[in-house]
Chain A
């Protein structure tokens, strides 16, 4: 038997999964890494620690799981997007901590770029936001003495996490189109670094990786394993959910949540606060584009309840706690910890818990936490329907939070459409494995992948529509109260 492995380098942990030809999980390994919070609004990772974790999980899942040596024939990579790593070309060591996608330190820098807003929208398909890699590169170059000179000489290299891992695994400095589409530096139509965008952000071309398709053999590991795919985590999930046709949409529930709709061979410009991104590019085939709506805080709100408030001892217990009550008790939680993402894009928003009375218990708060994920999803779905001129008929949900049955039911109630979980909830890893398997001929084509997709569970709306509408109004009021809070 031969297998394909995928590394999912995520925001809080690195995982490696091995899949068989049916797309079934054969082995799994996982390691967490530290979240570094040097100041309010700053979020960093140690890229060296991440590389160690990735080597560890790769060894655990591929060699430590009893699979025959050599039976894993391809490796795909999927990764937390936008997180920015700068390293020294000679030593291979990071020159600073990685700036994580959630980090808002580039807030004022982004504001100062307002004159270029239309340019970024038009060329890169992205709104101005702290979220993307370009401003993070610029911040590091501006704030670290001597770094700009070294970058201009090509002694310091930039990469998103895919690029960092491929460099470490194969020695090549490349990135894939999906990750490059999140930098604000790539032209969406030409799929090349755009000199005007580089100019606007003052990023030297010498430090940038070569842009390659999402699926091709980039190189080989020391052990001879072909590294054959890279996809940003959300694009990987779109691929893993086999959303290969225009209109097909998935939503992944992790630390943040992300809805992506396949829009085919043409990029669609959003009028409702969504962004345009590359979905995937397989070998020499033209790129497939997607509309994306991202929500900054969903699963991480559950972790916050666990780690910062101590209301639960594991993330799964949120469901137990939320089921101690029948409703939210009038309580609404807008988790705008780093501002609000799609469709609002308000960096000045901060978290609020609204509607508190003496009646509210921790059970109600737990419920409000789950409802926050559902309402934020609803806002993105409404925007997506408007942009694409379609009405969503079912939501394909995946990610770790799909284990939470109460959340899935609330989602169906709030969206008023069925919510479907596919057989393999780990679509992110699966998508990277699929792309690597296509690149190496392990799978003959996308039809073979589609045949692997099966419905594992389905939740149907049960709520009274009048109650849904009233709750929606209250949610919108809570959103208003979160705005115009932060002035930095």
Chain B
């Protein structure tokens, strides 16, 4: 397609959105057809598509159209990571206190997990702050949570590198794992990034229930797992912290 070429149906869709955005009134098909100088049939097709992607909503009683909620959130859906850290600070500290493990908060960044907050394990041992580090999404609990709930359906950066023998390296295995994560609401990595280390994470959501980050703990397999499974009490601590931050963000 050349520089000057445009797609007619996209232009028409944009025209409809502009019309709907131009005033407070909902518009009917007849009004839209007149303003767009289009046959109702053509217009219906475009409207159906816009309703499908959530950019336009149809009023159930009047049958008239208005801008959809998804569109309204497009420009404002981004939660500043420093804001996320500020709002999470107390809950992350509390999680570190209860679990006696290091706490991590991450967001998706270029297919990986950007560490936006890190609380040391409360044993006063020598530890180095890891904020700003990029972790592989497919090999960490944080990453699995973020991939499983990503509103834009972002996928892990391919190929999936094998960090340990336990790392999930096929797209199929990862897809199955993400399905599991969605089903139970939390994720674990059992020595999939570093041998001897386990991580557990749960999603942080904003007021629209969009996942904006993940919070979790990371530590030695001896402390975090029992019989090859993440310890249930730690899972519930992590989920409690995630819910507390979610509550805070929805206020």
A residues with a Cβ closer than 8 A to B are 22-26, 28, 314-320, 400, 402-405, 423-426, 454-459
Contacts and interface: CB of A to CB of B under 8 A. Distances in A.
Nearest to B100: A454
Main secondary structure, interface of B, reads helix
Nearest to B122: A454
The 5 closest A-B pairs by CB, nearest first: A454-B122, A316-B83, A316-B86, A403-B86, A24-B97
Contacts of B123: 454
A456 B120 contact: yes
Given A457-B118, A457-B120, A320 B89 contact: no
A430 B98 CA distance: 16
Contacts of A458: 120, 127, 129
B94 interface: yes
A423 B90 contact: no
Given A456-B96, A457-B120, A316 B85 contact: yes
B81 interface: yes
B80 A314 contact: yes
A423 B82 contact: no
Given A314-B83, A316-B86, A454 B94 contact: no
A458 B118 CA distance: 10
Contacts of A320: 80-82
A319 B86 CA distance: 11
Contacts of B226: none
Interface string B94-126: 101110000000000000000000111011100
B71 interface: no
Interface in B186-223: none
How many of chain B's residues touch chain A, expressed as a range? 20 to 34
Contact of B129 (A26, A400, A459): A459
A40 B94 CA distance: 42
Given A25-B90, A423-B119, A455 B80 contact: no
Contact of B94 (A25, A400, A455): A25
A403 B96 contact: no
A49 B94 CA distance: 31
A22 B89 CA distance: 17
Given A28-B90, A455-B124, A456-B119, A319 B82 contact: yes
A425 B129 contact: no
26 contacts: A24-B93, A24-B97, A26-B94, A314-B86, A317-B80, A317-B82, A318-B82, A320-B80, A403-B82, A403-B85, A403-B86, A404-B86, A405-B82, A405-B85, A405-B131, A423-B96, A423-B122, A424-B93, A454-B96, A454-B97, A455-B122, A456-B93, A456-B120, A457-B119, A457-B129, A459-B129
B115 to A, nearest CB: 11
A405 B84 CA distance: 13
B113 to A, nearest CB: 17
Interface in B48-100: 80-83, 85-87, 89-91, 93-94, 96-98
Most chain B CB within a 10 A radius of its CB, from A24, A28, A402, A454: A454
Contacts of B81: 320
B86 A400 contact: yes
Contacts of A26: 94
B80 A316 contact: yes
A458 B125 CA distance: 12
A454 B86 contact: no
A176 B83 CA distance: 36
Contacts of A404: 82, 86
A317 B85 CA distance: 11
Contacts of A457: 118-120, 129
Contacts of B119: 423, 456-457
Nearest to A453: B124
Contacts of A425: 89-90, 93
A457 B130 CA distance: 10
Given A23-B97, A317-B82, A456-B96, 15 more contacts: A24-B98, A314-B86, A316-B82, A316-B85, A316-B87, A320-B80, A400-B89, A403-B82, A403-B86, A404-B86, A423-B97, A423-B122, A454-B123, A458-B120, A458-B129
